[in-house]
Amino acid sequence: MSYPFNEIEPKWQRRWEEAGVFRAISPVPGTAEGTRYREREYYLLEMFPYPSGRIHMGHVRNYTIGDVLARFRFAQGYRVLHPMGFDAFGQPAENAAIKQGVDPATWTDRCVQQMREGLKRLGFSYDWNREVATCDPAYYRWNQWIFLKMFEKGLAYRAGAAVNWCPSCKTTLANEEVIQGNCWRCSTAVEPKELEQWFLKISAYAEPLLADLGKLSDWPERVIAMQRNWIGRSEGVEIWFTVQAGSPVQDSGKRIPVFTTRPDTIFGATYVVLACEHPLVEELIRGKPQEAQVRQFVERVSRRSKQDRAAEGVKKEGLFTGGYAINPVNGEVVPIWVADYVLMEYGTGAIMAVPAHDQRDFLFAREHKLPIRVVIRPPEGDPDPKSWSEAFEGEGTQVNSAQFDELPSTGGKRRIAAWMEEKKTGKRTIHWRLRDWLISRQRYWGTPIPIIYCSACGVVPVPDDQLPVILPKEVSITGEGGSPLGKMKSFVETTCPRCRKPARRETDTMATFFDSSWYFLRFCSPKESTLPFDPKEAEFWMPVDQYIGGIEHAILHLLYSRFFTKFLRDIGLLKLDEPFARLLTQGMVLKEGEVMSKSKGNVVDPDGVIQRYGADTLRLFILFAAPPEDSLEWNDNAIDGSWRFLNRVWELVESVIAAGSVPVRPEPVEGRTRPITLREPQGDRTAQLRRVTHAAIKRVTGDLESFKFNTAISALMEFRSAIEKSAAQGSGPDVRGAVEALVHLLNPFAPHMTEELWARLGHREMLAGKSWPAYEAALLEEKEVTLVVQVNGKVRSRLTVPAGSSSEDLKAKVLADPAVRKWLDGKPPKQMVVVPNRLVNVVV
RNA sequence: GCCGAGGUGGCGAAACCGGCAGACGCGCGAGCCUCAAAAGCUCGUGAGGGCAACCUCAUGAGAGUUCGAUUCUCUCCCUCGGCACCA
């Protein structure tokens, strides 16, 4: 016999929806409507899903965590915004189209519907009135609008560059989408490809994106660290070497800027190295004996993917270009090399090589017999680099450095940098690892980039009144590569908005991370039609008080969203610096230690679990099995524990109902497997039960505040046992009070069952709208406490003593305890440590 | 290499501010119920020793601070995650 979850769950889902209990209500000026709420609003958001069709355990976990918090905040009287939507553009829809011949829009609609139903089956407290889908023109027109604002500010630009190309997806990728050299979506090795593409100048925000990480005190440290790494601030000096005059290079006197974080080692620069893609390489080798050889080398290296280059590891290849450069600090002439270990995309694409004090330069110099000159003498060891097995990168005394000789190298960076600035041979700069964000995708199912190319006017933005540029439907998607829109004359051919002459539309679409970089703002006013969102609504709801999602977005989505927020602030639409005040990154759901995936065949389908146990059991188990940030090992057996617990709660409450509010000895109820016998109250059981009840309220409330759902549930399990025990022993009318508290506290976790029980207990109001129970501190006080008695730090006895006993009383009692006397062996104690109401330690 | 998170029973995990290590749950064992099984219920369950009351050992390893350390400090080992020829 088990409780009828399959009748209960749909019923309450319907009732919540009909009553609109989870609708977010913005304040209307001049009404008293606000009295229902606390001062504060609460915006709770979980990362919206890509509508792939079925929901998986990862979704269940993410959204259950969010739902428990949302229901808890609702109960606390906050004005809650808890929306849901769909990140509906993207490649899978297109791949389905290619494979099954379905229109991506139709496929997506179907998936969204399925997904929405799946979410509803779990009883989540969303305000479905605010649902958005990014593939809706009413949504993506604002992608286009934001893009054009960026274009207007010079933050969206078109440039040719060697970009990341995924040969399998047949599209370009952002740096953030390249995971260890592979495509984030299909794991194919990414290749460099020279293309003209649209970029967003996220690098213009590198400084604030880094600095404002300091404001995110409620973000997990690892996410902050990942973003800090990704942005990669590096303080140093740009030094200007010049190409030697009189060399065969025509335009001699040309500068080669190099970037270094170690200006203190400038006197030890014995050669200069250019990246293979460096524009000066070609000039330097022209007409030289090494011309053909170098050109061949450069071509070979440039063809290799970044990953391949790194995989070669320590082996560094390079060639002399035939050219020389002049070190600006001492006029020394040094050879210019080209090598694979210098990257065009970092710094200036050229370095000064200091083999004595940089490990990479050291290995390269050894390999190619280049001079190694010590300019920082190590405090100990052989000063002759011939005996070294590696470069000395530490601090020491400066040598071979002209007027800086014999100074300690600590502070050398600052001294030499200042001197170079004075002599105008270099300047202090900051370099960033963060690259601009490539957003062009040669795919169909995305937001059209609202740009028109005119042979007369050039790059022309689509005027505001012509937005949105609608993504046409009747497109043939072949998967053969190239933008599918490019094959559609009716789309491509247009007129220039400026000169009215024939022109062509941009045929690439936007990366879908564009769509998700501001959706949290759209939820504040999803029907807004004159702007992406109503700035007043955004000011009211934003920032998101609690954001919940997977760690896999630590740099992608979470960095882009921060960038968008700052941009929208700068154009006056927002008044905040950061979009997400608190972030919770939930762990993955694993089976047999591995991520669930179709290819591994270890997927547990949430719908199957719901059919067998109901949504409440699934929710409860997924919260109980592990703390939210840890990975969770799915266990088909362990879920029975949650199932049993809910059934026991059901039985307990039903017994209490059957017994009436004042418990008497009831007849065992027909069909119940475990009738609970209630007796007449005895002694102070009533007070005891009341104490347990208030202790449970305190624990569960505290655990919910700090996201410790697993221990909150264990506290509820203990509470249930305590009520049952108490009821069986007779504890008076308070059994009903205790049971009601149990049902109430369990509500955020198992909302359907608890609503049903609440109603059966005779309440007309739904639990969903009811305010959270409070505990009374006075009721928590116990008359007696168990005192732990230690001898030399080891537990030897336990004593039950009145709460609040004085130190003297405790000492006397402890010394009288036979278990203690046994260990004292007649000797007086050396010392006694007393922790009131807790412990006494006797030191012998 | 750099950055981050971790290491506690057979398993998932608890332990507030330094104060009973292993709550709660799974699994396992015994029993009840049953013609039998499933379900359900009751009790037990870190390791070792003892008939027992009890005793010894135990939170990755080693040291330190302390009356007392899973918790604080240092050294080391291992696992996971991110970045990585970043000048």
DSSP string, A442-493: S-SSSPBP-EEEETTTEEEEPPGGG------S-----SSSS-GGGG-HHHHE
Which pLDDT belongs to residue A324? 92
Which pLDDT belongs to residue A146? 98
Helix A639-659 × helix A734-746 angle, to 10°? 150
Which pLDDT belongs to residue A314? 55
Amino acid at A41: E
Rounded CA-CA distance A637/A625 in Å is 12
- The pair phi, psi for residue A459, each rounded to 5°, is -85, 115
Rounded CA-CA distance A141/A134 in Å is 10
Q: Which nucleotide across the nucleic acid strands is nearest to A306, CA versus C1'?
A: B85
Residue nearest to nucleotide B5 (CA to C1'): A222
The distance (Å) linking the CA of A837 with the C1' of B73 is 30
The length of chain A in residues reads: 844
Q: What DSSP character marks residue A544?
A: B
The distance (Å) linking the CA of A280 with the C1' of B23 is 69
**Which residues make beta-bridge pairs with A273?**
A337, A351
**Beta-strand pair A632-633/A589-591:** parallel
* Lookup: tokens for A556: 């992608």
Q: Report yes or no: A646 and A617 within 8 Å, Cβ to Cβ.
A: yes
**Which residues make beta-bridge pairs with A165?**
A172, A191
Residue A30, helix vs strand vs coil: coil
Residue A541, helix vs strand vs coil: helix
Instruction: List % helix, strand, coil for chain A (3-state, nearest 5).
Output: 40, 20, 40
Which pLDDT belongs to residue A779? 82
Which pLDDT belongs to residue A672? 31
**Beta-strand pair A546-550/A583-586:** parallel
Which pLDDT belongs to residue A806? 84
Q: Which nucleotide across the nucleic acid strands is nearest to A262, CA versus C1'?
A: B87
Q: Report yes or no: A416 and A263 within 8 Å, Cβ to Cβ.
A: yes
The distance (Å) linking the CA of A788 with the C1' of B45 is 24
Residue nearest to nucleotide B69 (CA to C1'): A793
**CA-based radius of gyration for chain A:** 35
Residue A677, helix vs strand vs coil: coil
Rounded CA-CA distance A144/A532 in Å is 10
The distance (Å) linking the CA of A130 with the C1' of B7 is 45
- Annotate A93-103 with b (16+ C-beta within 10 A) or e (fewer): bbbbbeeeeeb
Which pLDDT belongs to residue A733? 66
Chain B positions within 7 A of any protein Cβ atom are: 2-5, 11-15, 19-21, 23-27, 39-41, 55-56, 67-69, 81-87
Which pLDDT belongs to residue A239? 94
The distance (Å) linking the CA of A717 with the C1' of B26 is 15
* Lookup: tokens for A789: 């008695």
The distance (Å) linking the CA of A261 with the C1' of B61 is 39
Tell the residue number behind the tokens 């109902």, with chain if given.
Answer: A657
Q: How many CB atoms lie within 10 A of CB A157?
A: 14
Residue A784, helix vs strand vs coil: strand
Q: Which nucleotide across the nucleic acid strands is nearest to A340, CA versus C1'?
A: B85
Tell the residue number behind the tokens 């149990």, with chain if given.
Answer: A742
| pLDDT lower than 50: segments of chain A | 34-36, 248-250, 662-681
Which pLDDT belongs to residue A48? 96
Residue nearest to nucleotide B12 (CA to C1'): A625
The distance (Å) linking the CA of A772 with the C1' of B60 is 43
Pick from A213, A233, A237: which is nearest to A223 by CA? Answer: A213
Q: Which nucleotide across the nucleic acid strands is nearest to A259, CA versus C1'?
A: B87
Question: pTM of this prediction?
Answer: 0.92
Rounded CA-CA distance A543/A552 in Å is 22
Q: Which nucleotide across the nucleic acid strands is nearest to A717, CA versus C1'?
A: B24
**Residue A20 CB burial class (10 angstroms; 0-12, 13-18, ≥19):** exposed
The distance (Å) linking the CA of A315 with the C1' of B23 is 56
The distance (Å) linking the CA of A560 with the C1' of B59 is 42
Residue A619, helix vs strand vs coil: helix
Residue A322, helix vs strand vs coil: strand
End-to-end Cα separation, chain A, in angstroms: 59
Residue nearest to nucleotide B14 (CA to C1'): A711
Helix A751-760 × helix A734-746 angle, to 10°? 150
Amino acid at A116: R
